[in-house]
Amino acid sequence: MSFQHALSAFHALSPPTRLEIFRLRVSREPEGAAAGTIAELVGGPHNTVSQLARGPSLGGRQGPSIIYQADVALMGALMSFMLTDQAARCSDFTGFMCAGGLIEMSAIGDIFTNSKQQQTSD
């Protein structure tokens, strides 16, 4: 993840209501939450909440409802971006995990600059 991508992700979550909505969607994974349910839980108008629920998220229709899910992969990449320097200072050997599974384990100098798995460098 580039610095600009990380900055965009943080910017997308900067409004307090948007961050609250994202945390709610994360707690409802993997099913997600309907826009109307989100509006009721955060106490906001449906049209405003629906607009705020868009980023960073995945969404789709289920009958008449729009279901919003958290973009967990994006948040994992953002956390990895934030912790890269910290991991480099704490250990000479580290692993990259995604969705609860170990993707790659290697020396820090290799995993962050010359990864063997495409998923690690994404």
The beta-strand segments (E) located in 15-56 are 33-34
Q: Under a CB-based contact definition with an 8 Å cutoff, are residues 9 and 78 in contact?
A: yes
Angle at 121 between CA 120 and CA 122, to 5 degrees: 95
pLDDT at 88: 54
Nearest to 9 by CA among 19, 109, 17: 19
CA of 60: how far to CAs of 50, 79, 84, in Å? 12, 25, 33
Closest Cα to residue 92, out of 116, 119, 77, 112? 112
* pLDDT at 53 exceeding the cut of 80: no
pLDDT value of position 91: 63
Lowest mean pLDDT among 15-19, 68-72, 113-117: 113-117
Q: How confident is the model at residue 6 (pLDDT cuts 50, 70, 90)?
A: confident
Q: Please give the domain boundaries of the chain with CATH numbers for all domains.
A: 3-71 (1.10.10.10), 74-121 (no CATH)
**pLDDT (tens digit per residue) in 54-98:** 666 666 777 777 788 888 888 888 888 887 766 555 566 777 777
Where do we find the tokens 């629906």?
A: 50
